Amino acid sequence: MIPMSFLLLAWLIFVAIFVLFAILTIAVHIRFGISNPITTVSAGIFLTVSILVILATGIYFLQVDWSKNVGLFNANSFGTQQSVSEFEL
């Protein structure tokens, strides 16, 4: 059983890596791209969609109970510890 908070931590690490690469990518795109609307619009679309996805996921995660555990290797026990014990009872 893996605590769900570990998965949240892994997600945060992945998002941090994504943000780092996204900043570098946008910096290169703006610096070396020709100063015309396509450069600005493409960078804007990329940033807007990325921010929307991270925000939407973050807002959903605020409602999740991260104190539960995940059973990854046993399909029958995939779920909370409580639900497994209820099933056994």
Partner 1 sequence: MFDLQHLPNAVPGEKIVHFLRRHPITLLPVAFGYLLVTLIPIFGFGYLFIYEPNITHNPVFFPVIILLSSVIFLFAWLILFHMFMDYYLDIWVVTTRRILSIEQTGLFNRIVSELRLYRIQDVTAQINGFLHTVLNFGFLEIQTAGEKTRFVFEEIPRPMTVSKSILELSEVDRREHLDESIENLGGKP
Where does this chain bind partner 1 (CB under 8 A)? 4, 7-8, 11, 14-15, 18, 21-22, 24-25, 28-29, 32-35, 38-39, 42, 46, 49-50, 53-54, 57, 60-61, 64-65, 68-70, 78-80
CB of residue 80 vs partner 1: minimum separation in angstroms? 6
Closer residue to partner 1, CB minimum distance, 34 or 89 = 34
- CA gap 49, 12 in Å, rounded: 18
Distance between CA atoms of 6 and 80, rounded to whole angstroms? 15
Whether the CB-CB separation of 70 and 2 falls below 8 Å is answered with yes
